[in-house]
Structure 1
Amino acid sequence: MTTSNKRRLLLQATAAATLAGTAAWSSAAEERTLRIGYQKFNTLNILKGTGNLEKALAPLGWKVKWFEFAAGPQLTEALNADAIDFGHAADTPSVFANASGVNAVYLAAEQPYPKGIGIFVAQDSPIRSIKELKGKKVALGRGWNVQYLLVRALEETGLSYNDIVPVYVSNAADVRATFQSGNVDAAGLWDPFLAGQELATRPRILRDGTGLSNNRTFHLATPKFVDQNKNIIRILFAELKKTNNWTQAHPQETADLLAPQLGVDPKVLRLATERRNYTTVPIDAGIIQEQQQIVEAFYKLNLIKNPVQVKDKVYGEALL
């Protein structure tokens, strides 16, 4: 074989290898997927409805898959199982996840949403105040934001969480069913389920979160995914900011956008949207302290066993 033929074969082999490598890289790029967990009615849910994140990530060869969860505890378990990369949960589910060793870090928070949670009784109930819940049955879930609200509301009146009889359920639908069955005296829910209950049965709200709980939503992710894909997270937050700005100025349009996606009446979503501030902010010392207070409240009640330090669960680099 001549030298020129050898050289040609070598070049052909090199080119073939390069093409194969390029094809493999392209295939891998096509398979790169951002897996996002969300719950009904939240900023991520609205972003999903717009399709804008998919458009922003497509030029980078990324796809997005969305997974709906009934509540924060189920979502944080999915993070821990590496079934999703990114998601959101309210303040208390996030604390319970921290305390149980869930492999997730705080990336950002949303603005306070105290009117989006409430403890309520039936319209014709003789109970008129939180203090009158002593010895009564209250339907709610373990590690929910409304559980923390109830803890604080009872303390506000001189009572303790041990003075009521919690009836634990696993999701918002079970709360509504249990409450409407008459087998409990009161219940706790969050938006949009709270808004739905308000419009459906006109319950008496004994206490919302005003002055007791900021009811923040937190954006969480597995630290390994963030370490390896900071640019993807930054793009996500950039698109989320655009969505939040639009949502804040268009409550009715937001309700109309989400209603078919969620199977929720637009009137319910409009009520929930009007009392919410859609802004994502970095985790600061004040927000860390809010979360630490939740840790201390549940540790004192022996409802969590690990007095975790929230500051240790915050990602070390701002990505907003």
Structure 2
Amino acid sequence: MIKRRRFLNVAASSVGGFSLAYLLGSCSNQGQQSSSTFDPNAIKVKVLRMGYQSAGDLFRNRQVLEKRLEPLGIKVEWAQFVQGPQLMEGMAAGKIDVGSVGETPPIFAQVAGSKLVYVVGTQRTATTGRSSVIAVPPESSLTKFEEIKGQEIYFQKGSASHYFILRALQSIGLTIKDIKIRSMATVEARGAFLEGRIPVWMTNDPHYAIAEKLGRIRVLRDSVGLDSPGGYYIADRKFAEENPGLLKIIIEELQALDKWADVHRDEVKKLMISEQKLAPDVADRVMSRRTFAGRRGLSPALIAEQQRVADLFFESGVIPKKIDIKDFLLPPDLYAAITPTEIMV
């Protein structure tokens, strides 16, 4: 019993604060099976359980999945999570089948032994990253990011902010050991930051836009140019292997939605106001920074980019073991069968 307790304590501290329930999930990853064992059009469920984050989800708000799946007799259920790490925990606990996260949460989930697969990625542009920032209150004595050494920085461990800060520090010759990390979900930290009780905060829209409207934020730097491969839709492995036909529909609808949103930005803003309860001027700020560049298939190039992210976390001592992204993929020709050719770049 003592040995078991010691193992759990070490594991929890190594992964950086993930919940015990997450770590106690399955600790084995299945290797990729031959694609011949899968029917790319197979759909075995009658309910699709989708996860989304509290910052909002256009995919949910537009109800495109519901319209596509209703004729097939499939119901869509949505579950909200505070951020990506919590969504990954929900998947590990069997509460959802598919969800959207940044590049970092699936890596931490892999370390914790979660059985997941990458479904589809996100295209990036030269301006992607403007909505993610490292910021201080207006009265802070810090005037530039290069003065960050030794500061307490608040962000959710295991979220996309974790990779953001790692690369931002690396860009000025510092490491993660040069700061003091205080893990707190963005939505929970916002009030304290607005009151001036958090010295340095990592946030994104719409929280950034809300603080901006109130004149309570000064940005030290954004994440533009820090070579993140972008976000992903992730699926439970068993669900993915049994329902590749649903994954195909999800990818197709996501790609079509991005194309629609890019030319109907006013409609997207209206949905933000009605569904996320954002003030019109806050929605304007969010939309001024938001891009709809489309989806990106799990090509060898994207896999290599995600592996680079995982390797950096290991080399920096953030995660306790090296992981192989390929262990969390479907067979290459199955991806080819469910992913539009134009996004396999």
TM class by shorter-chain length?
Answer: 0.7 to 0.9
Give identity over the alignment, percent.
Answer: 29
Counterparts of 1:30 and 1:293 in 2: how far apart (Å)?
35
1:297 Cα deviation from its structure 2 partner? 2.4
Kindly report the root-mean-square deviation, in angstroms, between the aligned alpha carbons of the 2 structures. Answer: 2.1
The number of residues matched between the two structures is 289
**Bigger Cα Rg:** 1
Query: Hey, what does 1:58 align to over in structure 2?
Result: 70
Counterparts of 1:289 and 1:215 in 2: how far apart (Å)?
10
Query: Hey, what does 1:297 align to over in structure 2?
Result: 312
* Structure 2: unaligned runs, 5 residues or longer: 1-42, 340-345
* Structure 1: unaligned runs, 5 residues or longer: 1-28
Query: Hey, what does 2:80 align to over in structure 1?
Result: 68
Structure with the bigger RCO (C-alpha within 8 Å, sep 6+) is: 2
Query: Hey, what does 2:270 align to over in structure 1?
Result: 256
Query: Is 1:141 aligned to residue 156 of structure 2?
Result: yes
Counterparts of 1:41 and 1:115 in 2: how far apart (Å)?
16
Query: Hey, what does 2:242 align to over in structure 1?
Result: 228
Counterparts of 2:45 and 2:234 in 1: how far apart (Å)?
23
1:89 Cα deviation from its structure 2 partner? 0.5
Cα deviation digits, residues 68-92 of structure 1 (max 9, x gap):
1110001111111111111110011
What letter is aligned with 1:188?
M
Please give the secondary structure, in 2, of the residue aligned with 1:115: coil
What letter is aligned with 2:196?
G
What letter is aligned with 1:51?
Q
Cα deviation digits, residues 101-127 of structure 1 (max 9, x gap):
211110101122322211011223221
- Contact conserved, 2:117 with 2:240, CA < 8 A, in 1? no
1:150 Cα deviation from its structure 2 partner? 1.3
Match of 1:38 among 37, 52, 56: 52
Counterparts of 2:45 and 2:298 in 1: how far apart (Å)?
32
Taking structure 1 as reference, are residues 229 and 222 closer, same or farther at Cα in structure 2, changes over 3 Å only? Answer: same
- Contact conserved, 1:298 with 1:304, CA < 8 A, in 2? yes
Counterparts of 1:134 and 1:31 in 2: how far apart (Å)?
51
Please give the secondary structure, in 1, of the residue aligned with 2:290: coil
- Contact conserved, 1:38 with 1:66, CA < 8 A, in 2? yes
Counterparts of 2:47 and 2:258 in 1: how far apart (Å)?
23
1:238 Cα deviation from its structure 2 partner? 2.0
What letter is aligned with 2:162?
Q
Taking structure 1 as reference, are residues 231 and 198 closer, same or farther at Cα in structure 2, changes over 3 Å only? Answer: same
Taking structure 1 as reference, are residues 124 and 213 closer, same or farther at Cα in structure 2, changes over 3 Å only? Answer: farther
1:202 Cα deviation from its structure 2 partner? 5.0
Query: Hey, what does 1:85 align to over in structure 2?
Result: 97
- Contact conserved, 2:169 with 2:176, CA < 8 A, in 1? yes
Query: Hey, what does 1:159 align to over in structure 2?
Result: 174
Query: Hey, what does 2:191 align to over in structure 1?
Result: 177
TM-score by length of 1: 0.83
What letter is aligned with 2:323?
V
Query: Hey, what does 1:272 align to over in structure 2?
Result: 286
TM-score by length of 2: 0.78
What letter is aligned with 1:289?
A
Cα deviation digits, residues 282-305 of structure 1 (max 9, x gap):
022332233222222222332211
Query: Hey, what does 1:188 align to over in structure 2?
Result: 202
1:208 Cα deviation from its structure 2 partner? 1.1
Match of 2:251 among 233, 237, 241: 237
Query: Hey, what does 1:8 align to over in structure 2?
Result: none
- Contact conserved, 1:117 with 1:145, CA < 8 A, in 2? no
Which segments of structure 1 move beyond 4 Å, counting only runs of 4 or more? none
Taking structure 1 as reference, are residues 287 and 178 closer, same or farther at Cα in structure 2, changes over 3 Å only? Answer: farther
